[in-house]
């Protein structure tokens, strides 16, 4: 009985600490004011860099969005890096050369683990822009995307700017659940920037000074890991310039992409994202990840124990209830900004599934290999 009481006390303590943590997320999100563009003459040369591999079915949509940008053409450079595509990706990009689209074809004759970092680094070495913008070859954005990012940059002179990425055009319940979970992740990254403790960002909508990239050694030290061209670079720049990281909270800066179409693709993506945690240097971020994993593990453990000792089902219920209420408060602000509050109806379902997902990915993402763009990497 004493052991059971101890386990219950630990569960209560974990729930309390997790609750405090989510409250800091809520505080961080609301500390970020929505950016209001100002009248500033565009004065920054921008290089938009997109690494692409086997994207022939959707890449035209991305290119058309980039061509339609209202930022001065003489200050805009758009570079696609073809990462050994086996389809017509390179041919399609080349067909836009009259629109100023540049193509670099990656030509690695030996196997490496991080083709994307190699592609981005190659493009940065060849680009003319003072400000690098990265996105993905399956993304779309509004015509004010570049001009909004640059306006924010010229107003604040940040070394790195993280901007929102949201899913759209969901076709079923599974994709809508992903959208809500992804909103949580984007909000989490924004909130930690708001709290001056940057932890995560997304390379589908990221901007940083070219000089800052070289000042921190680029991808050196993280170039043997397949993922991390965004988050691990954020950590390097934040270490050198802790007060020079910004989050652009503005609808014109949103980049849209699609959720994964099936569970297998989703798991591979999240294993890739979780694999970056093996290279975290910031102890606070490591502690954050460990706490979230242990809290979710405690919920799962209490549920399994409750199948034999019913009292633990009550503990599980209250843990889930606290988790759901606080995360709903957090997501209220994030979904409101994204104009997706209707997704909050899925919170009860997501809350339960999220426990299983966090526990599994926490282990699987830090061990073994995963499939990315048809390659097995780690």
Buried b (16+ CB within 10 A) or exposed e, 115-150: bbbbbbbbbbeebebebbbbbbbbbbbbebbbbbbb
Read off the pLDDT of residues 231-248 as tens digits, 9 standing for 90 and up. Answer: 999 999 999 999 999 999
Q: Say if residue 326's pLDDT is above 80.
A: yes
Read off the pLDDT of residues 20-79 as tens digits, 9 standing for 90 and up. Answer: 999 999 999 999 999 999 988 999 999 999 999 999 999 999 999 999 999 999 999 999
* Mean predicted confidence (pLDDT) in 207-216: 97
Read off the pLDDT of residues 144-181 as tens digits, 9 standing for 90 and up. Answer: 999 999 999 999 999 999 999 999 999 999 999 999 99
Is the domain spanning 33-176+196-262 CATH 3.90.550.10? The answer is yes
Read off the pLDDT of residues 79-117 as tens digits, 9 standing for 90 and up. Answer: 999 998 999 999 999 999 999 999 999 887 776 768 899
pTM of structure: 0.93
Q: What is the pLDDT of residue 283?
A: 80
Read off the pLDDT of residues 357-370 as tens digits, 9 standing for 90 and up. Answer: 999 988 887 766 66
Q: Which residues contact 20 (CB under 8 A, 6 or more apart)?
A: none
Q: Say if residue 372's pLDDT is above 70.
A: no
Read off the pLDDT of residues 260-311 as tens digits, 9 standing for 90 and up. Answer: 999 989 988 888 888 777 778 788 888 888 899 999 999 999 999 999 989 8
Read off the pLDDT of residues 331-356 as tens digits, 9 standing for 90 and up. Answer: 999 999 999 999 999 999 999 999 99
């Amino acid at each position: 009985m004493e052991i059971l009481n101890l386990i219950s006390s630990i569960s209560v303590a974990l729930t309390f600490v997790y609750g405090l943590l989510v409250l800091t997320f809520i505080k961080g999100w609301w500390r970020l004011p929505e950016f209001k563009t100002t009248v500033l003459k565009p004065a920054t040369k921008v290089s938009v860099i997109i690494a692409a591999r086997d994207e022939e079915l959707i890449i035209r949509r991305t290119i058309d969005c980039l061509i339609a940008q209202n930022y001065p053409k003489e200050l805009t450079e758009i570079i696609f890096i073809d990462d050994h595509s086996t389809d017509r990706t390179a041919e399609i990009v080349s067909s836009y050369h009259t629109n100023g689209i540049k193509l670099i074809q990656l030509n690695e004759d030996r196997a490496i683990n991080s083709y994307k970092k190699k592609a981005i680094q190659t493009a940065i070495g060849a680009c003319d822009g003072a400000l690098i913008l990265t996105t993905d070859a399956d993304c779309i954005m509004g015509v004010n995307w570049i001009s909004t990012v640059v306006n924010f940059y010229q107003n604040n002179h940040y070394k790195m700017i993280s901007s929102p990425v949201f899913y759209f055009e969901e076709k079923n319940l599974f994709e809508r659940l992903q959208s809500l979970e992804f909103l949580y992740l984007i909000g989490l990254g924004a909130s930690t920037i708001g709290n001056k403790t940057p932890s995560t960002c997304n390379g589908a909508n990221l901007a940083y000074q070219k000089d800052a990239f070289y000042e921190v050694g680029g991808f050196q030290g993280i170039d043997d890991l397949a993922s991390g061209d965004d988050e691990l670079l954020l950590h390097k720049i934040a270490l050198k310039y802790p007060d020079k990281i910004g989050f652009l909270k503005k609808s014109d800066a949103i980049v849209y992409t699609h959720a994964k179409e099936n569970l297998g693709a989703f798991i591979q993506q999240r294993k890739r994202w979780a694999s970056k945690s093996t290279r975290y240097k910031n102890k606070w971020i490591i502690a954050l990840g460990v706490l979230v994993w242990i809290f979710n593990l405690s919920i799962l453990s209490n549920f399994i124990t409750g199948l034999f000792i019913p009292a633990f089902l009550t503990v599980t219920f209250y843990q889930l209830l606290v988790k759901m209420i606080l995360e709903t408060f957090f997501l209220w602000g994030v979904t409101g900004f994204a104009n997706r509050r209707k997704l909050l109806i899925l919170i009860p379902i997501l809350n339960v599934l999220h426990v299983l997902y966090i526990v599994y990915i926490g282990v699987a993402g830090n061990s073994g290999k995963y499939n990315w763009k048809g390659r097995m990497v780690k």
